[in-house]
Amino acid sequence: MTNIEFTNYQEYTLTIFSENSIGLLNRITINFTKRKLNIESLTVSESAIKGVFKFTIVVICNQHTVENLIKQIEKQIDVLRAFYLTQDEILHQEIALYKIETASLLDTNEIEGIIRQYNARILEMTREYTVIEKTGHKAETQELFEKLQPYGVMQFVRSGRVAITRLKKELLSNYLKKLEREHNQAV
Amino acid sequence: METLIKEAESIQKQQTQRVSGSDALLLSLIEEKVSTIFGYPGGAIMPIYDKLMDYKKQLKHILTRHEQGAVHAAQGFARVSGKTGVCFATSGPGATNLITGIADAFMDSTPIVCITGQVGSHLIGSDAFQETDVVGISMPVTKWNYQVTRADEIPEAIAKAFYIAKSGRPGPVLIDITKDAMLQDFDFAYKPCDYIRSYIPRPLIKEEQLNRAAQLINEAKKPFALIGQGVILGGAEKELLAFLEKTGMPFACTLLGLGAIPNNHPQHMGMLGMHGHAAPNIKTNDCDLLIGIGMRFDDRVTGKVSKYARQAKIIHFELDKAEINKIIKVDAYVNGNVKESLPAVTAKVIKNKHQSWIDEFKLIRRDEEKRVIQKEINPEGNKISMGEVLRIINTIVHGDAIFVTDVGQHQMIASRYFDFKNTRSWVTSGGLGTMGFGLPAAMGAQFGAPDKTVIMVAGDGGFQMTLQELGTIAYNRLPVKMIVLNNNYLGMVRQWQELFFDERYSATPISSPDFPKLASSYGIAGEMVKERTGLQAAIQRMLDFDGPYLLEVKVVNKGNVFPMIPQGAAVNEVLFGDEQAIK
């Protein structure tokens, strides 16, 4: 029972709930650096529970590495819970913004067709430039980028992943209540 | 009415007092029952050092000769006393000089709290004189750290620091305090910390985990237990003994688990690991049930992981959830403090004996005795061996001493041959393998156990890394017994060069000063022994001496530590040193 799998790399989405403390991002990313793991994408924001922050991190590694990684992250004092999820366990989105010259939009009606086809939308339009927004998976926002490229994309930016679980897991708020309850019992 | 208000005000006054941040820090340490601080002053921590003069009765400050000495002393203090060690350093180089000790404490789960001074908060981020981001630098090697920039943060930060350092799996905590925070006045009140919602130091032990473990133990024909420092950190020595004596199984200790149970216990099969005893290493790959108790399957214990105990079921009793299934996949585990999990599982196992299984270990032990041990402790050559020094010490102290080592060959010899009798009597750098650890750690150990004999053994290499602490030992008249085993080599590296690098001795021959003369310049007594005839008497003189004493022993130059499991080999591929291939 000692054989540990060192192959089978795949993409994992890590969901980390933490207190809001300075330096915690560093404490979390150290665990990736230490294992020479690249962070594919990172998003941080306050969760539905006030004061509790949620990190969504995408990493490519094997099962054994991600299991250890998640335990080391959860071990950090200010981390409440940490989970890892595979592709089929989550719904996820990224947002991309594209800036193109307004002139190229006016010169041809092909861009309008592309925007419709990709369910993108125009966020802002000035005489010089137009900003287009698209949400979707990386492959989709990338495809739109490639479609727009011939017309001259002046700027392009893509956000980190945000993900929500498909699993019927215990909610963090219930977990926090359980923690308080156990603590009160112990006292 | 007026009297009521006055009364309320006086109650208020009793609960809080207006003090500076420096006072608050020192008062907080007193609240945490700190009595000894190791440290070194500097610009950014001067306000704290100034206030130290007002708390001389409660707080003893030991000025070391280097910040690394302070942090290793705090470690030695913590390891023998079971309390949290405390050290002070200033910003910049003072703080960075602590890092090695902090990393060492992190690897070996030693509870210490390090307080560093920091430049004023208005200067942070400006590359000010002696500014360094010590919170950033120490982050990978601390259990927790925090920068205080306001005086009123101090009590809570210190309370949290001590709670985190000592609870759960212990570890180092660093609190960085800006100079202006030390100087601000505020209303001080202290409340110890006993709860952080995102931190679970004491996981509740699950019944089903215990049942599964007990079932495997009851079914086993050839069970074998591996004892780690978790037992000592959890204060679970008695609980462990009860478990082992009821199940009757043989056990062995990791390097840091030594002393948890006396060496002379009939089920004690010795030490695990690269230079451990042959029997427990070989039998790891022969048992049908392997039980890790408060240990972490370090690579020096497991050897080649893919060939480690493949035939056995494995159980892990461990407090730190992140250690379970980290290196070795287990069949069952009990997550919790062994102080609680061991009695719970003991109640569920049947009383048993495994005498013939233990006899199999003893057979290998007899082989090792003949091929290795006797050659080391009763050598035939003219030169003194490291092992015989240990043998003589044993005959005088009978395990009633605190033994501190540096890192290298002498450390492995000491761990193999010292006659461990008491818990918390062994201070050595395990996980990090920090040369230079020995002398300052021995100093801290003597402060932590003032009534005990503290014997330090170091090599000529490691001793020279931190020998400036002779100054601290001399000044404080600490009766530490220092033995330098001098082979004129960085012995462990030389051994590897001999065995694995074709005897190319790159940068391992090393010259040394005359150590007793050096000690003498500090006012420390000592002597040098070159011949076997004078050895026993010299050791006796050292142990009888009232005060610090340095004994330099010139030992065989190219001695090797055996048995040995070469790196990358399986645990049962033990070399005894007399194989043809080695010669």
B139 and A30: CB-CB below 8 Å? yes
A23 and B136: CB-CB below 8 Å? yes
| B331 close contact with A: CB closer than 8 A | yes
| CA nearest to B202, candidates A47, A137, A182, A127 | A182
- The torsion angles phi and psi of A165, rounded to 5 degrees, stand at -85, 150
One domain, residues A74 and A96: no
Q: Is B179 a catalytic residue?
A: yes
| B321 close contact with A: CB closer than 8 A | yes
Distance, in angstroms, between A160 CA and closest chain B CA? 25
pLDDT(A40) > 90: yes
In a domain, A176, yes or no: no
B463 near B134, Cβ under 8 Å? Answer: no
| B133 close contact with A: CB closer than 8 A | no
Region A90-115: what's the mean pLDDT? 90
In a domain, A178, yes or no: no
Which residues, including other chains, have CB under 8 Å from residue B516's CB and lie 6 or more apart? B526, B527, B528, B550, B551, B552
Kindly list the residues from chain B whose CB atom is less than 8 angstroms away from the CB atom of residue A4.
305, 327, 329
Element (H, E) at B491: helix B491-500
pLDDT digits (tens, 9 = 90+) for B318-371: 999 999 999 999 999 999 999 999 999 999 999 999 999 999 999 999 999 999
One domain, residues A31 and A56: yes
User: Which residue range forms the structural domain that includes residue A52?
Assistant: 3-85
Q: B447: number of CA atoms within 13 Å, CB side? A: 31
pLDDT(A1) > 50: no
Q: What local confidence, expressed as pLDDT, does residue A172 receive?
A: 79
Largest CA distance in chain A: 73
| B140 close contact with A: CB closer than 8 A | yes
Give me B37's structure tokens. Answer: 């601080």
Closest residue, chain A, to B332 (C-alpha) = A1
pLDDT(B12) > 70: no
B322 and A1: CB-CB below 8 Å? no
One domain, residues A66 and A127: no
pLDDT(A5) > 60: no
Q: What local confidence, expressed as pLDDT, does residue B582 receive?
A: 60
Q: Which of A49, A65, A85 is the last residue of a domain?
A: A85
Q: What's at B390, amino acid-wise? A: L
One domain, residues A55 and A95: no
Q: What local confidence, expressed as pLDDT, does residue A107 receive?
A: 82
Sheet holding B332-335, edge to edge: B268-271, B251-253, B223-227, B289-293, B313-318, B332-335
Distance, in angstroms, between A108 CA and closest chain B CA? 51
| B314 close contact with A: CB closer than 8 A | yes
Region B82-92: what's the mean pLDDT? 98
Of A2, A4, A23, which is closest to B135 when you measure between CB atoms? A23
A2 and B198: CB-CB below 8 Å? no
CA distances from A102 to A116, A135, A156, B453 (A): 17, 21, 15, 84
What is chain B's mean pLDDT, rounded?
A: 96
In a domain, A177, yes or no: no
B455 near B483, Cβ under 8 Å? Answer: yes
Region A104-114: what's the mean pLDDT? 85
In a domain, A44, yes or no: yes
> B79 pairs with which residues across the strands?
none
A69 near A61, Cβ under 8 Å? Answer: yes
Distance CA B216, CA B205 (A): 17
pLDDT(B428) > 80: yes
Q: What's at A11, amino acid-wise? A: E
Closest residue, chain A, to B304 (C-alpha) = A2
Give me B472's structure tokens. Answer: 């601290």
Distance CA A173, CA A81 (A): 11
Distance CA B176, CA B135 (A): 7
Of A1, A71, A75, which is closest to B329 when you measure between CB atoms? A1
pLDDT digits (tens, 9 = 90+) for B265-305: 999 999 999 999 999 999 999 999 999 999 999 999 999 99
Of A19, A30, A77, which is closest to B140 when you measure between CB atoms? A30
Region B241-268: what's the mean pLDDT? 98
Distance, in angstroms, between A163 CA and closest chain B CA? 22
Q: Where are the alpha helices (DSSP H) in B418-459?
A: 438-448
Region A6-25: what's the mean pLDDT? 90
Distance CA B110, CA B106 (A): 7
| B310 close contact with A: CB closer than 8 A | yes
Share of chain B above pLDDT 70, in %: 97
B419 near B395, Cβ under 8 Å? Answer: no
One domain, residues A158 and A140: yes
Strand A39-46 to A53-61 pairing: antiparallel
Q: Which residues of B391-422 are buried (b: 16+ CB within 10 A; e: fewer)?
A: bbbbeebebebbbbbbbbbbbbbbbbbbbbbe
Kindly list the residues from chain B whose CB atom is less than 8 angstroms away from the CB atom of residue A34.
140
Closest residue, chain A, to B322 (C-alpha) = A71
Strand B172-178 to B144-148 pairing: parallel
Q: Is B224 a catalytic residue?
A: no
Q: What local confidence, expressed as pLDDT, does residue A174 receive?
A: 78
One domain, residues A81 and A104: no
B121, B198, B305: best mutation site toward chain A, by most A Cβ within 10 Å? B198
Long-range CB contacts for residues A74-77, cutoff 8 Å, separation at least 24: A74/B321, A74/B322, A75/B320, A75/B321, A75/B322, A76/A18, A76/A24, A76/A27, A76/A28, A77/B143, A77/B144, A77/B164, A77/B196, A77/B198, A77/B199
pLDDT(A149) > 90: yes
pLDDT digits (tens, 9 = 90+) for B195-248: 999 999 999 999 999 999 999 999 999 999 999 999 999 999 999 999 999 999
- The CATH number for A108's domain is 3.30.70.1150
Q: Which of A58, A85, A112 is the last residue of a domain?
A: A85
How much is the CA Rg of chain B, to the nearest whole Å? 25
Q: Is B130 a catalytic residue?
A: yes
Region B7-15: what's the mean pLDDT? 59
Q: What local confidence, expressed as pLDDT, does residue A169 receive?
A: 60
In a domain, A149, yes or no: yes
- The torsion angles phi and psi of B130, rounded to 5 degrees, stand at 55, 30
pLDDT(B82) > 50: yes
Of A2, A78, A176, which is closest to B328 when you measure between CB atoms? A2
- The CATH number for A81's domain is 3.30.70.260
Catalytic residue among B31, B46, B60, B130: B130
In the structure, what pLDDT confidence band is assigned to residue A2 with cuts at 50, 70 and 90?
very low
| CA nearest to B45, candidates B89, B92, B98, B99 | B89
Distance, in angstroms, between A68 CA and closest chain B CA? 6
- At what angle are helices B154-166 and B21-31 packed, to 10 degrees? 30
Of B195, B309, B321, which is closest to A2 when you measure between CB atoms? B309
A71 and B326: CB-CB below 8 Å? yes
In a domain, A115, yes or no: yes
One domain, residues A62 and A127: no
Phi-psi region of B193 (alpha: psi -120 to 50; beta: other; left: phi over 0): beta
Kindly list the residues from chain B whose CB atom is less than 8 angstroms away from the CB atom of residue A78.
198
Residue B509 DSSP code? B
In the structure, what pLDDT confidence band is assigned to residue A38 with cuts at 50, 70 and 90?
very high
In the structure, what pLDDT confidence band is assigned to residue B16 with cuts at 50, 70 and 90?
confident
Q: What local confidence, expressed as pLDDT, does residue B529 receive?
A: 98
One domain, residues A80 and A105: no
B320 and A176: CB-CB below 8 Å? no
Q: What local confidence, expressed as pLDDT, does residue A170 receive?
A: 57
- The torsion angles phi and psi of A32, rounded to 5 degrees, stand at -80, -45
pLDDT(A7) > 90: no
pLDDT(A124) > 60: yes
Report pTM: 0.94
Q: What's at A58, amino acid-wise? A: V
Examine residue B563 and say whether the peptide bond preceding it is cis (omega within 30 degrees of 0): yes
One domain, residues A80 and A95: no
Strand, coil or helix: B575: strand
Q: A164 or B504: which carries more pLDDT confidence? A: B504
Kindly list the residues from chain A whose CB atom is less than 8 angstroms away from the CB atom of residue B198.
18-19, 77-80
pLDDT(B456) > 60: yes
Kindly list the residues from chain A whose CB atom is less than 8 angstroms away from the CB atom of residue B320.
75
Q: Which of A36, A61, A85 is the last residue of a domain?
A: A85
One domain, residues A111 and A72: no
ipTM of the complex: 0.91
CA distances from B414 to A97, B110, B117, B167, B510 (A): 66, 21, 38, 30, 22
Q: Please give the tally of structural domains in chain A.
A: 2
In a domain, A183, yes or no: no
B174 alpha-carbon distance from chain centroid: 18
- The torsion angles phi and psi of B228, rounded to 5 degrees, stand at -115, 180
Q: Is B182 a catalytic residue?
A: no
Distance CA B193, CA B329 (A): 36
Catalytic residue among B9, B129, B355, B370: B129
Q: Helices (H), strands (E): how many in chain B?
A: 25, 20
Q: What local confidence, expressed as pLDDT, does residue B4 receive?
A: 60
Q: Is B376 a catalytic residue?
A: no
In a domain, A7, yes or no: yes
B314 and A176: CB-CB below 8 Å? no
| CA nearest to B398, candidates B241, B264, B211, B232 | B264
pLDDT(A6) > 60: no
One domain, residues A107 and A48: no
Kindly list the residues from chain A whose CB atom is less than 8 angstroms away from the CB atom of residue B164.
77
Distance, in angstroms, between A2 CA and closest chain B CA? 5
Residue B371 DSSP code? I
Catalytic residue among B179, B222, B283, B339: B179
pLDDT(B25) > 50: yes
One domain, residues A81 and A136: no
Q: What local confidence, expressed as pLDDT, does residue B525 receive?
A: 98
A1 and B136: CB-CB below 8 Å? no
Distance CA B303, CA A185 (A): 44
> B525 pairs with which residues across the strands?
B549
Kindly list the residues from chain B whose CB atom is less than 8 angstroms away from the CB atom of residue A68.
322, 325-326
Region B150-175: what's the mean pLDDT? 98
Count of CB contacts below 8 A, A vs B?
Answer: 64
Kindly list the residues from chain A whose CB atom is less than 8 angstroms away from the CB atom of residue B196.
77
